[in-house]
Structure 1
Amino acid sequence: METVTKNLFLFLSKNNWLNEMAKKRGGNIVTGKIIAGTDFPSSVQIIKELNTRGLATTVDHLGEFVNSEKTAVERTEEAIATIETISRERLDSHMSVKMTSLGLDIGRDLVISNMTSILDTAEKHGVMVTIDMEDEPRCEKTLELFKQFKQSYNCISTVLQAYLYRTEQDLKELSSLKPFLRLVKGAYKEPQTVAYPDKKDVDENYKKLIEQSFRLGLYTAIATHDDHMIEYTKGLAARLQIPNNQFEFQMLYGMRNKTQLELVEQGYKMRVYVPYGRDWYGYFMRRLAERPANISFAFKGFVKN
């Protein structure tokens, strides 16, 4: 049943008609629930409120798979303006970007040029930029770009997905760069030739990756809503004597709000992934596909403040 539910939400995430309808009519409904706002200026107040509660953030302008050079340049300019606002408003926030939104599918020179402009601004203001991970066919290109940029920039991190067979080796290869890594389970529909099809295998690989990253001495962000995974991480950190300033937990805005604050109270770093923009529909469907329990979290978020 879980597989059927996941496939349904992944199918819905790619429905262009529903996505367009969501852009036109759904922004007001989801603002303050699963997105902070339809643009970054309207999201600043929510981020400040999260910071006041001891929650750091990572902001993400929703949208991917750009096939227009003009749009890719516009996304770059938006990212630069966001970094400048983060600095000006003194927000405790990183920023996440997808390489396809900057032109990955159009041309390598374009995405390098756009990302270089973003990272120049990030280094100037001391704002971390996370290269988000997308579907498996783009994984290799994304990691190649990360390795290239990491040689010249400090304010850059990336994401690894536990459901891919290749990730354990990717983690080993990246370790010499001492990266800031965000570990996630993964949210795209992938064939069994490249990804674990069963949740229990993904969970076991996720645990293995967390331990591997800890033992390699890497700063590790554990992005999960799973209580079992949270407790596993706490126990592992205690057993390996990993200090709390060497890792953090990450969760999505609008989900598990009480748990987020409890982790802060317990002395753990807690970062909230805060999306904004009009292209929220595909993002939301993939989050529901990731974990069926998110459906109940999302519903509670819609009916409660």
Structure 2
Amino acid sequence: MGLTRDFFISLSKNQLLNSSAKKWGLKLGASKVVAGTDIDSMMKSVKELNSNGISATIDNLGEFVYSREEALHAKTNILETLEAIQAHAVNAHMSIKLTQVGLDVDYKFCLENMKEIVALAASYDIFINIDMEDYGHLQQTFDLLDELLQEYDNVGTVIQSYLYRSEKDLESLQDVRLRLVKGAYKENEEVSLQGKQEIDENYMKLIKSRLLGKAFTSIATHDHNIIDEVKKFARQNNIPFSRFEFQMLYGFRTEMQKELAKEGYNFTTYVPFGQDWYGYFMRRLAERPQNINLVLKSMVSK
């Protein structure tokens, strides 16, 4: 299982395959987990989610951005998506990777791009979640978030439970809206926990700490055991539904998503879309190699 995970993570970082994938369209099963390549197709998916009482966090996919031109193009796409959220009056916010808008080009350039994005989102009362990337970008992400928080309150980020430093980071952001995840990148043992059980245990520890605090928390997991434990903890500690939400990825455990929403829990689906879907899709296969079945079924059905 570990070798399979490493294999797909290595594929996700392959720029040549990423470029080729754009020519394929959403083939090889990606259409199961990516909500189209353009705003119109994505909006149809978001409206369907909304009709089931589910909100959306929209990710206009983009990776391997190393030039100002590419970053500015990505920023334009994100601004257009924010305009579409407002125009269609859907229940949605956005998730953004800083590397997509220039973090690997220049820090200040990225910060200016993000200020423009967050400012437009604030004018529409739309929240912006900064997706956490690999450990090499971690501190810069926190630094940039701190600068944005000096001017705006509609921005937050992600805490990954497999990192040793996450508990300390959580304490420093106790007043900020956060998404808690287990972690999707391969990090070495010097900075992260390696075993599933210890990662799960730390994840629940961080979740409980947040739920006993005061800021809104997104709990992003497909693990029904974690979800059941969160439900039980919330009941035992009289934590209102208004303080937290569950999140899952588009295309995964859709019936459970609907059921949690029916039970009255706040629920948000992570909705990725766009031409640059390849890296995202490979990481989903790395997280759960059984998702390869999506690929096989798609190929057989064609």
Distance in 2 (alpha carbons) for counterparts of 1:293 and 1:216: 36
Are the equivalent residues in 2 in contact too, given 1:122–1:129 (CA < 8 A)?
A: yes
Could you tell me how far 1:21 is from its partner in structure 2? Answer: 2.9
Counterpart residue type for residue 113 of structure 1: E
**What percent identity do the matched residue pairs reach?**
44
* Change over 3 Å in CA distance of 1:132–1:105 after alignment to 2: same
Counterpart residue type for residue 267 of structure 2: M
Distance in 2 (alpha carbons) for counterparts of 1:156 and 1:169: 19
Q: TM-score, normalised by structure 2?
A: 0.94
1:200 to 176, 188, 197: 197
Are the equivalent residues in 1 in contact too, given 2:57–2:271 (CA < 8 A)?
A: yes
Distance in 2 (alpha carbons) for counterparts of 1:292 and 1:180: 31
Report the more deviating stretch, 5-14 or 231-240. 5-14
- What does residue 87 of structure 1 align with? 86
Q: Does 1:255 align with 2:252?
A: yes
Q: Does 1:218 align with 2:243?
A: no
Could you tell me how far 1:64 is from its partner in structure 2? Answer: 2.3
Q: Does 1:39 align with 2:38?
A: yes
Distance in 1 (alpha carbons) for counterparts of 2:134 and 2:104: 12
Could you tell me how far 1:296 is from its partner in structure 2? Answer: 4.9
Could you tell me how far 1:31 is from its partner in structure 2? Answer: 6.5
Question: Any idea what SS the aligned residue of 2:80 has?
Answer: helix
- What does residue 265 of structure 2 align with? 268
- What does residue 114 of structure 1 align with? 113
Structure 1: where are the runs of 5+ without partners?
none
Distance in 1 (alpha carbons) for counterparts of 2:33 and 2:134: 22
Distance in 2 (alpha carbons) for counterparts of 1:122 and 1:21: 33
Distance in 2 (alpha carbons) for counterparts of 1:299 and 1:253: 19
* Change over 3 Å in CA distance of 1:303–1:129 after alignment to 2: farther
Structure-to-structure mapping, 1:118-267, within 5 angstroms: 118-175=117-174, 178-267=175-264
Are the equivalent residues in 1 in contact too, given 2:55–2:92 (CA < 8 A)?
A: yes
Question: Any idea what SS the aligned residue of 1:27 has?
Answer: coil
Could you tell me how far 1:43 is from its partner in structure 2? Answer: 1.3
Distance in 1 (alpha carbons) for counterparts of 2:61 and 2:27: 16
Counterpart residue type for residue 47 of structure 1: V
Question: Any idea what SS the aligned residue of 1:260 has?
Answer: helix
Structure-to-structure mapping, 1:9-28, within 5 angstroms: 9-27=8-26
Are the equivalent residues in 2 in contact too, given 1:254–1:301 (CA < 8 A)?
A: no
Are the equivalent residues in 2 in contact too, given 1:183–1:223 (CA < 8 A)?
A: yes
* Change over 3 Å in CA distance of 1:251–1:300 after alignment to 2: farther
Question: Any idea what SS the aligned residue of 1:262 has?
Answer: helix
* Change over 3 Å in CA distance of 1:302–1:50 after alignment to 2: farther
Are the equivalent residues in 1 in contact too, given 2:164–2:193 (CA < 8 A)?
A: yes
Are the equivalent residues in 1 in contact too, given 2:30–2:295 (CA < 8 A)?
A: no
Q: Does 1:4 align with 2:10?
A: no
Counterpart residue type for residue 132 of structure 2: M
Structure 2: where are the runs of 5+ without partners?
none
Q: TM-score, normalised by structure 1?
A: 0.93
Q: Deviations over 1:39-67 (max 9, x none)?
A: 22331111111111111000001112411
Could you tell me how far 1:248 is from its partner in structure 2? Answer: 0.5
Distance in 2 (alpha carbons) for counterparts of 1:262 and 1:106: 43
Q: Deviations over 1:178-222 (max 9, x none)?
A: 111101111111111111111111111101110111122221111
Distance in 2 (alpha carbons) for counterparts of 1:127 and 1:303: 41
- What does residue 60 of structure 1 align with? 59
- What does residue 75 of structure 1 align with? 74
Distance in 2 (alpha carbons) for counterparts of 1:97 and 1:239: 35
Distance in 2 (alpha carbons) for counterparts of 1:201 and 1:105: 32
Could you tell me how far 1:120 is from its partner in structure 2? Answer: 1.1
Are the equivalent residues in 1 in contact too, given 2:29–2:294 (CA < 8 A)?
A: no
Report the more deviating stretch, 203-212 or 213-222. 213-222
Counterpart residue type for residue 253 of structure 1: Y
Could you tell me how far 1:291 is from its partner in structure 2? Answer: 3.1
Could you tell me how far 1:19 is from its partner in structure 2? Answer: 2.3
Q: Does 1:105 align with 2:104?
A: yes
Question: Any idea what SS the aligned residue of 2:173 has?
Answer: helix
